Chain A
Amino acid sequence: MALLEVENVRRSFGGLVALDRVTFQVKTGQIKAVIGPNGAGKTTLFNIISGLLEADAGQIFFRERSISGLQPYEIARAGVSRTFQNPSLFLQMNVLENVMVGRHNRTRWDFLGCCLRFPGQTKEEQSIREAALARLEHVGLAHLAAAPAGSLAFGQRRMVELARALATEPELLLLDEPASGLNTKEKQDLGNLIRKIRDQGITILLVEHDMSVVMDLSDDILVLHNGVPIAEGVPAVVQNDQKVISVYLGGEFQHVAASDKP
C-alpha cells in the first residue's frame, strides 16, 4: 500500500520552475531517498509535502487522504513529521524540553486543565517527560537532557531534532539531509539508527547528497534533475542508469559502482 502518493506536483518561483511533473510513491515500511544535484528542488519538495509551501499544481495523498493545501500542523497531526536541513531546535529551551514539544500532538490537556493542574494533567506531564527521555536514549543523548539546546554541537543538534520528530510518533518521517556535516563514524551511526527506526514501523523519506549513505540505506531511490524526475528504482538500477550517470558526470556513481565489484 502506498503510504505517500505525490501526483504531478508543480511549483515555480517567479520565472524559475523548481518542480515539474513530480510523481512518485512511498510504500509503507520503505526507506526511500530523493537525490539529485544541487538546485534539483529536493527541499522544495519536502516543504510542499510537509505543508510549508503550496504546490502550484498537483496532489499529495497520505494514507489515501489528500493533504494538499493543509497547514503544517494538520499534516503533522496526520502522521508526517520532518527534520530540517539546518536543525531548528528551540534554542531557549533545554534538550529534554525540545523533545517534549514533540509530544504535543499526542497529548491533550489544554489551557484550563493546565492552569488548574488536574490530576490527569500532572500524570500526562509525567508521561510526556518519560516518553521524551526514552526518545533521547534511543538516539543516545539522554545524558544531555538538561543541557541548553544552544550549547550542543551540530551533529548532536541533528540527533535531538530527530528525537523530537520521533516523539510525535509519526508514520512517515521526512529527513532533510540528515548526513550533512557528519563525519564517517557519525554517518555510520546515523545509518544504523535510521534502519532501527524503520524496523519499528516508521516509513522514511529522505533527501540526501551523500551517495554512500543513500546507496547503502535506501530500498528505493528517486532522482530529480532541475525539478523533474529522471529515474526511479532500486539502488542497483539507479546507479547504472545512463541519464543519472550523465547528470552527475559519472563521478560519484563510478566510485560506488566500483566498490560493488567483487
Chain B
Amino acid sequence: MNRLRHILPFALFAVAIVAAQLCMRVTETEYYLTQLTMSLYYAIVVMGLCLLMGHAGQVSLGHGAFFAIGGYTSAVLTTHDFTRISSAVWPGWLEPAHLFVAKQDLYGGQTMTVSPWAAFLVAMVATFLVACLIGYPALRLRGHYLAMATLGFGLIVNKLVLASAIAGAADGINGVPEWTLGFGLVVSGKSTARVQNYYIACGLVLLLLLLLRNLVRSRVGRALAAIHDREIAANAMGIDTAAYKLKTFVLSAMLAATAGVFFTHYTGGIGPSEAGALKSVRYVALAAAGGMGSLWGVTGISTALNYFSLRGWFGSYDNAVFGVILILIISLAPAGPLQPLGHWLRRLLSRLFQGGRRPHGAA
C-alpha cells in the first residue's frame, strides 16, 4: 500500500503529461507544446529552489543567474568559432573525439564549435565553481543578508552578460545548434521535433523529481530539515550545517544550469533577461506558490503559471501578477497555499460524507 502511495504521484503526472499532449493533438493546438516545454524547463529551476528554500531553509534571489550561466556557457561554446585556436594549439583529434564540431558556415568556410555534450559538461563545471565561490561566503550570512547577497550576485551576472560582446550584449545569443542526446533523442527547436522535445522535457523533469524525492526522504533530507528547523541543535547533533547548506546551494545551482542548457538548445538562443532580477524573483514566487517544500506542488504550479504567462494570459501585467502572488502567498500562507487548501478540502469532504451524523466533540 505504501509503495502504491509512492508511485501514485508519478503515475498521475505521467497520465497528465500524455493527456495534455493528446488534447492538444485533437484540438490541433499542438504548437502550445512549445510553451509547455519551456515551462517545464523553468520548473526545474524552481525544483532546485524548493530544495534550497523549502528544505534547507536558505533563500536565493539570484537563481536566474545560474540558469543564465548554464545557458550562456553552452550557447557561447556551441556558436563561437574556435578555428583559430584549435588548429594552432590542439591536434586534430578534437573533432573525432566529439569534443568539437566542424561545420561549414554560410560563406563556405570551416568553423569549429564545441560539441553540445562537451559544452554541457563545461557549463556544469563552471556553475559548480561559481556556486561554490559565491555560496561559501554567502551562506554564512543571516537570512536577509543572504537574500541581498544572492540578489546582488544575480545582478552582477546580469550586467556582465549585458556588457559582454561575446555574450551578444543586449541581444543575447542566437543560432544555438540542436543537441543530439543519443538514443535518437535530439533537443531541438524544430517544429517537427516538437512532440519529441516535449517528452524529453517531461522525462528530464520526472527523472529529477525522482532523484530529489529520494534525497528528501533520506538521511540527507532529514539533515536539511533539521538545519531549517533549528540550526544550532542540528549542529549539536553532529551535522556539518555549513557544508550541507553549501552542497544544497550548489546542487540547486546545477539544476538551474541544467535547465538553462536544455532550454537554450531547445529555443535556439538565450537573452540577458534570464539573469535579471525579475526572473529570479519570479522563481521565488513560484516556489512559494507551490508550497516551498513540496516538490510536486512546486513543479505543478510553476509549470502551470509559467505556461499561462508564456501564453500571454497575464498580458502586460505579467510581472505584476508574480509580484502579487509573492506578496499574497508570503503574507497569508508562507508554507504555500496547498496545505491550507488541502485542510479546507478535507474538512469540506468530511462534512459532506458525515451527512446527518453529528460529530462528537471536535468540529
Contacts and interface: CB of A to CB of B under 8 A. Distances in A.
A135 to B, nearest CB: 13
A92 B219 contact: no
Given A90-B225, A115-B211, A105 B238 contact: yes
- Mostly, the B contact residues are helix
B217 to A, nearest CB: 8
A131 interface: no
B247 A73 contact: no
Nearest to B335: A92
Interface in B193-221: 211-212, 214-215, 218-221
A109 B226 contact: no
Interface stretch (A21-29, A94-102, A223-231, A244-252): A94-102
A207 to B, nearest CB: 15
Given A88-B230, A114-B218, A115-B211, A93 B225 contact: yes
A107 interface: yes
B223 interface: yes
Given A90-B225, A93-B225, A111-B251, A71 B218 contact: no
A100 B241 CA distance: 17
Given A92-B225, A101-B223, A111 B233 contact: no
Given A73-B236, A104-B239, A105-B237, A114 B221 contact: yes
Nearest to A100: B222
B238 A114 contact: no
A128 interface: yes
| B218, B221, B228, B235: residue with the most chain A Cβ atoms closer than 10 Å | B218
B316 to A, nearest CB: 40
Contacts of A76: 235-238
| B211, B238, B241: residue with the most chain A Cβ atoms closer than 10 Å | B238
B348 interface: no
A52 interface: yes
Contacts of B236: 50-52, 72-73, 76, 81-82, 84
B132 to A, nearest CB: 14
A101 B215 contact: no
A53 to B, nearest CB: 11
Interface in A33-71: 50-52, 71
A10 interface: no
Given A114-B218, A116-B211, A90 B233 contact: yes
Interface stretch (A1-9, A117-125, A179-187, A194-202): A117-125
Interface in A158-172: 164-165, 168
B234 interface: yes
| B222, B232, B240, B247: residue with the most chain A Cβ atoms closer than 10 Å | B222
Contact of A121 (B211, B218, B237): B218
Contacts of A102: 237
Contact of B238 (A104, A115, A116, A128): A104
Interface residues of A, number: 39
A65 B251 CA distance: 35
Contacts of A109: 218-220
B232 A88 contact: yes
A20 B237 CA distance: 28
B171 interface: no
A168 B214 CA distance: 24
A81 B234 CA distance: 11
A91 interface: yes
B237 A168 contact: yes
A209 interface: no
Contacts of B251: 111
Nearest to B232: A52
A77 interface: yes
| A101, A105, A121, A124: residue with the most chain B Cβ atoms closer than 10 Å | A101
A110 interface: yes
Interface in B37-92: none
Nearest to A167: B237
Nearest to B212: A115
B229 interface: yes
Given A72-B232, A109-B218, A111-B215, A164 B225 contact: no
8 contacts: A52-B232, A71-B235, A90-B230, A100-B219, A101-B222, A101-B226, A111-B220, A115-B211
Interface of A: 50-52, 71-73, 76-77, 81-82, 84, 88-93, 97, 100-105, 107, 109-111, 114-117, 121, 124-125, 128, 164-165, 168
Given A104-B239, A114-B215, 20 more contacts: A50-B236, A51-B236, A52-B232, A71-B235, A72-B235, A73-B235, A88-B233, A90-B230, A91-B229, A92-B229, A93-B229, A97-B222, A101-B239, A104-B222, A104-B238, A109-B220, A111-B215, A115-B215, A125-B219, A165-B237
